[in-house]
Amino acid sequence: MFSFMSRFCKIIAKYSFIILIFSLLSVRTGNAQNEVEKDAFLIKEIFETTFTKSQAYDWLAFLTQEIGGRLAGSPQAAAAVEFTRQVMDTLELDSVWLQPLMVPHWVRGDVSVVRIINSPVLGTQDLKSIALGNSVGTGPDGLSAEVIEVQSIDELKELGRAAVEGKIVFYNRPMDPKKINTFSAYGGAVGQRGAGPVEAAKLGAVGAIVRSMTTAHDDVPHTGATRIDPDGFNIPAIAISTNDADLLSSVISQAPTHIYMRSNCGMLEDAPSFNVIGEIRGSTYPDEIILVGGHLDSWDVGQGAHDDGAGCMQSIQVLHTLKQIGYRPKRTIRCVMFMNEENGLVGGREYAAESNRKDEFHLAAIESDGGGFTPRGFGCSAVPEKFEEYFKSLSAHWDLLSPYGLSLNAGGSGADINPLKSQGGLLMGLRPDSHRYFDYHHTAEDTFDKVNKRELEMGAAAMTSVVYLIDQYGLDGKEKAQ
């Protein structure tokens, strides 16, 4: 009897332990499920609050329609600094401040001229053109010379000085229309705009003409920065529309062609400006910063709506939404309006330099500089030894964002936040649908009416949701939500 009772007690103890283990597992699973549900409901609240209470679209209307194009160093850029400072002040953030900078101050001057002259094929015809940023001017009388066409800087160098000296070089490599990612197509062609004029000058060219950076075939010329050579190899550089690039190429193929070009743009003395910064201080890990931002400057043509007024207003809206829903972050959430991305990147470099001097750590930085179109996801990068850990940690929660059509991909972040990479945090870039972006990029067509309110708010809500997930869980795969 004693032996039977002993075995019976052991059996009961064994199964009691098994039941206890299953009970604990059930509790843990339940807790995990509760966390997922809490996160899902909060992200839903983020989107609903942004759709119904956002001010990003109204802010963008003022920035673009009342202030307009905001070339670094201009009065409009100064007005944009004051406007965004005041907007952040109204949000009752913990801190708002200006970071002083000295920025390059390039001015466009009068409307540029590019003209085919006395062609046996076409006669004389003006082409739709716009001076490239940072370019020197031709002087009031302009210049004329024979034009030669190349597809790349390598082709130019193969021609050599004998074929180039005294000529105008026409760079006519199009963006590759076969690429689904139009930013990849842009990257494959934009080198001729950035470095092409200087390389042509080194071989004795007197001017440069560049095909506009767009997949569209239209009559809209696109500006954008070209490189300044410190050794003085700088020549007038002007972009022409894609339709006129095709026309010019056709004319050149049939007979020697001469071009007259005129511009009176040029660089002035560096001018004072600012990055605009606001933050909500973290309650638990205040020294870990999660940054959101865009670049406040734009080209002087158009209104800088998609590039990058949309990204700036989305970034401010992230902090506004967090305040609206009463969310107190564990980490410091900081919003930065970077100045001078378009023709110098001074704002991004100076911000990182000062951050490094203060020994700050940006756990994550998210930039929106792809337009205010429907968000498709985020690209991300980090130093190699950290990237896999960060990507895996964030991916573990990404199912929460899948219902909103957002993907998470390796590669890409943003030009202004890239200097922060040395701090070892995660760099991310909002990736909107890009198929229409280069129809407006750097043109007079980049105006407020091209931005859809719903799409703009979707991007802001997507950024806010990612900020929430990183703030709650960190990026080491170990932290639990509070």
- What mean pLDDT do residues 192-209 have? 98
Give me the domains of the chain, ranges plus CATH numbers.
42-103+270-473 (3.40.630.10), 113-267 (3.50.30.30)
Determine which one of 199, 341, 350, 457 is catalytic.
341
Statement: residue 18 has pLDDT above 80: no
Token output for 167: 């000529």
Summarised one tens digit per residue, pLDDT across range 256-295 is: 999 999 999 999 999 999 999 999 999 999 999 999 999 9
The residues, any chain, with a CB within 8 Å of residue 216's CB and separated by 6 or more, are 242, 438, 439
Distance CA 139, CA 137 (A): 6
Distance CA 95, CA 330 (A): 16
Statement: residue 309 has pLDDT above 80: yes
CA angle 177, 178, 183 (to 5 degrees): 65
Token output for 426: 């995660």
pLDDT at 248: 98
Catalytic annotation on 341? Answer: yes
User: Long-range contacts made by residues 388-395, C-beta under 8 angstroms, separation at least 24?
Assistant: 389/475, 389/476, 389/477, 390/426, 390/475, 392/477, 393/473, 393/474, 393/475, 393/476, 393/477, 394/426, 394/466, 394/469, 394/470, 394/475
Statement: residue 378 has pLDDT above 50: yes
- What mean pLDDT do residues 165-184 have? 97
pLDDT at 108: 97
CB 433 within 8 A of CB 373: yes
Distance CA 465, CA 430 (A): 12
Token output for 175: 């963006």
Q: Residue 75 — very low, low, confident or very high, per pLDDT cuts 50/70/90?
A: very high
To the nearest whole percent, how much of the chain has pLDDT over 70? 92
Cα dihedral 303, 309, 310, 316 in deg (nearest 10): -150
- What mean pLDDT do residues 174-188 have? 96
Token output for 465: 């949701």
pLDDT at 31: 65
Distance CA 145, CA 169 (A): 10
Summarised one tens digit per residue, pLDDT across range 415-472 is: 999 999 999 999 999 999 999 999 999 999 999 999 999 999 999 999 999 999 999 9
Among the listed residues 348, 413, 353, 415, the one whose alpha carbon sits nearest the alpha carbon of residue 383: 413
Q: How many residues would you count in the chain?
A: 482
Statement: residue 32 has pLDDT above 80: no
Burial of 181 (0-12, 13-18, 19+ CB in 10 A): middle
- Where are any strands of DSSP class E within 6-128? 95-107, 113-119, 123-127
How far is the CA of 79 from the CAs of 71, 76, 335, 366, 398, in angstroms?
Answer: 11, 5, 18, 25, 39
Among the listed residues 7, 38, 248, the one whose alpha carbon sits nearest the alpha carbon of residue 122: 248
**Across all residues in the chain, what is the average pLDDT?**
94
For residue 288, give the 3-state DSSP assignment: strand
DSSP 332-357: EEEEEEE--TTTT-HHHHHHHHHHHH
pLDDT at 33: 75
Distance CA 319, CA 449 (A): 25
DSSP 374-420: -EEEEEEE--HHHHHHHHHHHHTTGGGTGGGT-EEEES---TTTGGG
**Tokens 């910064």, residue located:** 277
Distance CA 425, CA 364 (A): 5
- Which helix (H) or strand (E) is 363 found in, with range? strand 361-367
